[in-house]
A and B are shown apart, each in its own frame.
Chain A
Amino acid sequence: MRNLIIWIALAAGLIVLPNVLSFSQQEVLVFLTINILLVASYRLLTLTGEWSLGHVVIMGVGAYASALLTKTTGLPVPLGILAGGMVAALIALALSYPLFRMKGFYFLIGSFAAGEIIRLLWKRFRDPFGGTKGLKGIDPMPDFSVGFYNFDFFEPTSYFYFAAIVVGVCLWILWRIEKSPVGLTFHAVHWQDKLAQASGVNLRAYRTLAFVIASGFAGISGALLAHYIGTINPNSFDVEVMVFVLTWAIVGGTSTFYGPILGCVVLTILNEVVLRELGLEQTRPLIYGLILILSILFMPNGLESIVQKFTRRKEAGLMRPEEAK
Chain B
Amino acid sequence: MTSLLQVKDLTMRFGGLTAVDGLNFKVEKGTIHGLIGPNGAGKTTTFNMISGFYTPSDGAVLLRGEDISGLQMHEVARRGVVRTFQHSTLFAELTVLENALVGTHMPFRPNIFAAIFGWDRDDRDGADARARDALRFFGLGDLMNEHAGDLSHGHQRALGMAVAYASHPDIILLDEPFTGMNPEETKHMMGLMKRLCSDGITILLVEHDMQAIMGLCDNITCMSFGKFLAEGGPAEIRNHPAVIEAYLGGARHVA
Binding site for B on A (CB under 8 A): 173, 176-177, 180-182, 184-185, 187-188, 191-192, 194-203, 209, 213, 322
CB distance from B52 to the nearest CB of A (A): 8
| A181 lies within 8 A of B85 (CB) | no
Q: Is the CB of A182 within 8 A of B89?
A: no
B103 interface residue per 8 A CB criterion: yes
Given contacts A199-B105, A202-B74, A322-B147, contact A176 B89 (CB under 8 A): no
The distance in angstroms between the C-alpha atoms of A184 and B124, with both chains bound, is 12
Q: Roughly how many angstroms separate A188 CA and B93 CA in the complex, as a whole number? A: 10
Which of A184, A200, A201 interacts with B98 by CB under 8 Å? A184
Which partner residue on chain B sits nearest A193 by CB separation? B73
Determine the chain B residues whose CB is within 8 A of the CB of A200 once the complex forms: 74, 77-78, 82, 105-106, 167
Q: In the complex, which residue of chain A has the Cβ closest to the Cβ of B106?
A: A200
The CB with the most chain B CB atoms within 10 A, among A185, A201, A203, A322, is that of A201
Minimum CB–CB distance for A23 against chain B, Å: 37
**Which of B15-23, B112-120, B226-234 interfaces with chain A?**
B112-120
Residues in A whose Cβ lies below 8 Å from that of B43: none
Q: Is the CB of A322 within 8 A of B150?
A: yes
Cβ contact within 8 Å between B102 and A180: no
Please state if B112 and A197 are interface contacts (CB–CB under 8 Å): no
How far is B118's CA from A29's CA once the two chains are assembled, in angstroms? 32
Q: Are B102 and A194 in contact (CB under 8 A)?
A: no
Contact residues in B for A197 (Cβ distance below 8 Å): 72-74, 77
Does A173 lie within 8 Å of B116, measured CB to CB? yes
Question: Does A188 lie within 8 Å of B91, measured CB to CB?
Answer: yes
* Contacts A/B (CB < 8 Å), 7 sampled: A177-B115, A180-B120, A184-B94, A195-B89, A197-B72, A199-B163, A200-B77
Instruction: Determine the chain A residues whose CB is within 8 A of the CB of B106 once the complex forms.
Output: 199-200
- A195 and B90: CB pair below 8 A? yes
Give B residues with C-beta under 8 Å from A: 51, 53, 72-74, 77-78, 82-85, 89-94, 98, 101-103, 105-106, 108, 110-112, 115-118, 120, 123-124, 127, 147, 149-150, 163-164, 167
State whether A195 and B102 are in contact (beta carbons under 8 Å apart), knowing that A200-B78, A203-B74 are contacts in the complex: yes
Chain B residue at smallest Cβ distance from A187? B94
B102 touches A182 (CB 8 A): no
Q: How far is the CA of A95 from the CA of B153 in the complex (A)?
A: 42
Q: B120 contacts which of A181, A187, A213 (Cβ < 8 Å)? A: A181
Q: Quick check: B112 and A192 within 8 Å, CB to CB?
A: no
List of B residues within 8 angstroms of A201 by Cβ: 74, 102, 105
* CB pair B74 A181 closer than 8 Å: no
Known: A196-B105, A198-B83, A203-B74. 7 other contacts (CB 8 A): A182-B111, A188-B105, A191-B91, A195-B102, A197-B73, A199-B103, A322-B147
B110 in contact with A182 (CB, 8 Å): yes
The answer to whether A195 and B85 have CB atoms under 8 Å apart is yes
Say whether, besides A180-B120, A181-B110, A192 and B90 are in contact (CB < 8 Å). Answer: yes
Query: Are A184's CB and B101's CB within 8 A?
Result: yes
Pair A181/B101 contact, Cβ less than 8 Å: yes
| Minimum distance in angstroms from B158 CB to a CB of chain A | 15
Task: Kindly state the separation between the CA atoms of A157 and B83 in the bound complex, as whole angstroms.
Answer: 57
> Which of chain B's residues has its CB closest to A188's CB?
B102
CB neighbours (8 Å) of A191 from chain B are: 91-94
